[in-house]
Amino acid sequence: MNKKVAVILSGCGVNDGSEIHESVITLLRLDQRGAEVQCFAPNIDQAHVINHLSGEEMQPARNVLVESARIARGNIKDVRELRADNFDALILPGGFGAAKNLSDFASKGGDCSVQPDVLAAAQSFVSAAKPIGLICIAPALAAHIFGAGVTCTIGHDADTAAELSKMGAEHVECNVEDIVEDPKHKLVSTPAYMLADSIAQAASGINKLVDRVLELTHE
């Protein structure tokens, strides 16, 4: 039977939403491995909107669910509908949306909180002992999702790693092509564009993460 995997997106675009390459690589690898995928996103306004050509903030406001639908080709649901009972695993791609819309890590660092609907959905997978994959900056949510002592990676950035440690996470340095696994919590993380200089580099770690998350659904 094909595994069912939920993917939580955070908008559309590296600077204010989901990193598009990371999201597409994740969805592609899941499809290549025969998984059934459903995308979700919170039905909230983005923290702000960035012009990806100029890098400047712009108006009007945009909705995270509506913008995420661009990546999901319209096949997306409100994260409030996400229940671990209906899926075998959960994956969160990165992009600043994970640190601005799924949480406020970008502005508050180690004092951040996670968007309540996203947190409830993710913790339902923890309660069900089902695997979770966190990509790029998404491991910033790990300590809130799993609690203190969870092991994860964002790559090599010492300042960001220090903020994760402040929240109670155990950070492990990791190269772009590798993954870090926390067997106790069934959590897999990879740096992706925290380190990647190309889409191929990002894919090298993301593909390993997807493969390992799927393997963990059998354990």
**Mind telling me the catalytic residues?**
136
Nearest to 10 by CA among 125, 93, 121, 130: 93
Nearest to 112 by CA among 169, 38, 192, 33: 169
Q: Is 158 left (phi over 0), alpha (psi -120 to 50) or beta?
A: alpha
Question: Hey, what are 124's tokens?
Answer: 């339902």
Pairing of strands 4-8, 89-92: parallel
Q: Tell me the DSSP string of 165-195.
A: HHTT-EE----TT--EEETTTTEEEE-GGGT
Say whether 28 sits in a helix, a strand or coil: helix
Alpha-carbon 28 to chain mean position = 15
